[in-house]
Amino acid sequence: KNEVEQSPQNLTAQEGEFITINCSYSVGISALHWLQQHPGGGIVSLFMLSSGKKKHGRLIATINIQEKHSSLHITASHPRDSAVYICAAHTDKLIFGTGTRLQVFP
Amino acid sequence: KAGVTQTPRYLIKTRGQQVTLSCSPISGHRSVSWYQQTPGQGLQFLFEYFSETQRNKGNFPGRFSGRQFSNSRSEMNVSTLELGDSALYLCASSPGIDTQYFGPGTRLTVL
């Protein structure tokens, strides 16, 4: 079993829909990262959180330390949100989930 | 501030050769981490350097090595290349234990 599990693996949405991507981890962490990777490979760090909730524009990330679970929400999704979203558990290094491929259609 | 830069962006090598990849972090960032991304294994941690010292190492064979210079620039080296080393190699810099800023990656193809 992977130390970091993401679901779903693939997600298709219509523009405007509310999106949720889930991440569960089995290791002790100092923080949980959410990353976005566009075609071509470039990775952008969206959030680093160790408790509670963070919001940036239409993106919201939450974490429940007791349940070892984090979610990334996208409100009012847009085609430009189409990307692979990766969560990573920060131990003494980053341990990555396998990613969620999101496609948002107009 | 300029972002993280990696050179070269693309590289083709043959089995048995060695390769050196370079990463220049954001000015002021002292931590540089290296990652390998393949379709089969996803993203995996290679190693992290902080102030010229290797702070952590992932589960990769000794053919993978790295170093960091006094100006925080980092290089990673892969010797005796294998077909399975074909991957996107990403480096990321951070001020310390903090948000990581990723470079565009070097895509290595081993023939």
For residue range A52-63, what is the model confidence (pLDDT) as tens digits?
999 999 999 999
* Cβ neighbours for A44, distance < 8 A, ≥ 6 positions apart: A35, A36, A37, A38, B102
- Most B CBs within 10 Å, among A93, A96, A101, to test the B interface: A93
Give pLDDT tens digits for B37-90: 999 899 999 999 999 999 999 999 999 999 999 999 999 999 999 999 999 999
- Closest Cα in chain A to B32: A93
Q: How far apart are alpha carbons A96 and B48 in whole angstroms?
A: 15
Q: Is the pLDDT of residue A94 over 80?
A: yes
Give phi and psi for B83, each to the nearest 5.
-55, -35
Instruction: Report chain A residues whose CB lies below 8 A from the CB of B104.
Output: 41-42
On the question of pLDDT at A2 being above 80, the answer is yes
Per-residue confidence (pLDDT) for residue B2, from 0 to 100 = 81
CB contact under 8 A, A44 and B43: no
What DSSP state is assigned to residue A15? T
A93 pLDDT tier (thresholds 50, 70, 90): confident
- Specify whether the CB–CB gap between A40 and A102 falls below 8 A: no
The span from the CA of B21 to the CA of A8, in Å, is 34
Using a CB–CB cutoff of 8 Å, tell me whether B85 touches chain A: no
With cut-offs at 50, 70 and 90, classify the pLDDT of residue A24.
very high
Bridge partner residues of A100 (DSSP): A85
How does DSSP classify residue A58? T
Measured between CB atoms, does B44 come within 8 Å of chain A?
Answer: yes
A103/A14 Cα distance (integer angstroms): 8
What are the tens digits of pLDDT across the range A30-53? 999 999 999 877 899 999 999 999
Residue B104 Cα, gap to closest chain A Cα (Å)? 5
Reported confidence tier of residue B97, pLDDT bands at 50, 70, 90: low
